[in-house]
Amino acid sequence: MKALVLERQGELSLRDIDLPSDMGPTDVRIKLHTVGVCGSDVHYYTHGKIGDFVVTAPMVLGHEASGTVIEVGAAVTTLKAGDRVCMEPGVPDLTSRTSRLGLYNVDPAVTFWATPPVHGVLCGECVHPAAFTFKLPDTVSFAEGAMVEPFAVGMQAAKRAQIAPGDTAVVLGAGTIGIMTALAALAGGCARVLISDLSAEKLAIAERYDGITGIDIRQTPIVDAVAEVTAGWGADVVFECSGAQAAMTDLFRIVRPGGAIVFVGLPPDPVAIDISAATARECRMETVFRYANVFDRALDLIAAGKVDLTPLLSDTYPFDASIEAFDRAAEGRPSDVKLQIRVDTESEAP
Ligand code: NAD
Ligand code: ZN
């Protein structure tokens, strides 16, 4: 099967590769339609590893995917051939102790597309458990379906924050994940979201949404901006979505007493945080690792018109131009939020 293969750090090729294609009774076979380019795919391309996950053998990239079911296993009752779907890329061992605790996203046995040694889905077809495959409502496009995966990270962050109606949230970092988190926070009941970045382009994209106000921290320190909006009280929830050490410095000066800090960004190296400042406010701290049980809710929000991800789609490349898409993503243009690859170039469906 033709696939986009990361041969080794810095080297991509579009070539034939043998991929597992056996179906179990609870699996479905899916013809891929659209696959998004994620920061992690790009990081494997440019650095060859993320933390302990090292690319030591050729690996197919891509994990933000939508497509059409073309075959169902004998025991599958929830899906049928022809269904348009998006897929949750991480499959845990559902009998593990972690999964039984309700934390299947942190199950050490999880296999996650395009995380070594597991292949991703920038290829023609894949086989996936029906339990992790979600039917797209008729009004949700394949492009939107392939954006559910990064949006799910924002959904998980909003869930972990335990937002109350009318909360004020601050999101640090207006990258893909920061904007997705801001949208999930609004959908979860926040009255307003302030989002900070150093990039005017990124902030302009975030500000296309009602309820989101951008803070350019090169002009206004985040502490001043939050103090002004909340009359010195602080935000109910702070989502850290930059992963930058500089953003950690002010975390506890922008959260209200008893508020929540939700860590989403993954700093490449350990960072310092001010525990004394945190305890002085007795704030709650939460961490987010991917997501669990949010794909169906994300689709419901999109279908209900409460979340529109389409303004975040910056460009779409045909499968044959996948390497160009990755080179552009590696450039990191400030005006790009999400790049996608149309694997099924024959389909006219968006
Ligand atoms: P990104 O690089 O597109 O976005 C990060 C943004 O933060 C950039 O726009 C950058 O300009 C901005 N930034 C840098 N320093 C800042 C500062 N001091 N204050 C405010 N903004 C600042 O990355 P992304 O794809 O949006 O991902 C964001 C982070 O989330 C990354 O660290 C990524 O690894 C992490 N992530 C975590 C999970 C998870 O499961 N926890 C999942 C996906 C991504
Ligand atoms: Zn991703």
The answer, yes or no, to whether any atom of ligand 1 lies below 6 A from the CB of 312, is no
- Is residue 303 in some structural domain? no
The answer, yes or no, to whether any atom of ligand 1 lies below 6 A from the CB of 266, is yes
142, 6: one domain? yes
pLDDT in tens, 66-114: 999 999 999 999 999 999 999 999 999 999 999 999 999 999 999 999 9
- Is residue 296 in some structural domain? no
Q: Are 176 and 332 in contact (CB under 8 A)?
A: no
19, 94: one domain? yes
168, 125: one domain? no
H or E element that contains 246: helix 245-248
The answer, yes or no, to whether any atom of ligand 1 lies below 6 A from the CB of 233, is no
How much distance in Å is there from the Cα of 151 to the middle of ligand 2? 9
276, 252: one domain? yes
pLDDT in tens, 110-168: 999 999 999 999 999 999 999 999 999 999 999 999 999 999 999 999 999 999 999 99
How much distance in Å is there from the Cα of 36 to the middle of ligand 2? 8
37, 71: one domain? yes
d(CA 241, CA 176): 9
The answer, yes or no, to whether any atom of ligand 1 lies below 6 A from the CB of 251, is no
Q: Are 133 and 30 in contact (CB under 8 A)?
A: yes
The answer, yes or no, to whether any atom of ligand 1 lies below 6 A from the CB of 289, is yes
pLDDT given at position 260: 98
- CATH number for the domain spanning 124: value is 3.90.180.10
ipTM > 0.85 for the complex? yes
- Is residue 301 in some structural domain? no
Which domain does 256 fall in, by range? Answer: 153-287
* Percentage above 90 pLDDT, the chain: 97
268, 164: one domain? yes
141, 267: one domain? no
Which atom of ligand 1 is closest in space to residue 43's alpha carbon? Answer: 34
How much distance in Å is there from the Cα of 135 to the middle of ligand 2? 19
d(CA 305, CA 349): 20
pLDDT in tens, 291-337: 999 999 999 999 999 999 999 999 999 999 999 999 999 999 999 99
Q: How many CB atoms lie within 10 A of CB 182?
A: 30
- Is residue 293 in some structural domain? no
- Is residue 294 in some structural domain? no
Which atom of ligand 1 is closest in space to residue 290's alpha carbon? Answer: 40
239, 225: one domain? yes
The answer, yes or no, to whether any atom of ligand 1 lies below 6 A from the CB of 153, is yes
- For 159-162, the CB contacts below 8 A with 24+ separation are 159/188, 159/294, 160/262, 160/286, 160/287, 160/288, 161/185, 161/188, 161/237, 161/239, 161/260, 161/262, 161/286, 162/260
278, 326: one domain? no
179, 114: one domain? no
Q: How many domains does the chain have?
A: 2
In testing the pocket of ligand 1, which one of 242, 248, 269, 294 has its CB within 8 Å of the most ligand atoms? 242
- CATH number for the domain spanning 175: value is 3.40.50.720
d(CA 41, CA 33): 18
7, 135: one domain? yes
95, 160: one domain? no
How much distance in Å is there from the Cα of 40 to the middle of ligand 2? 6
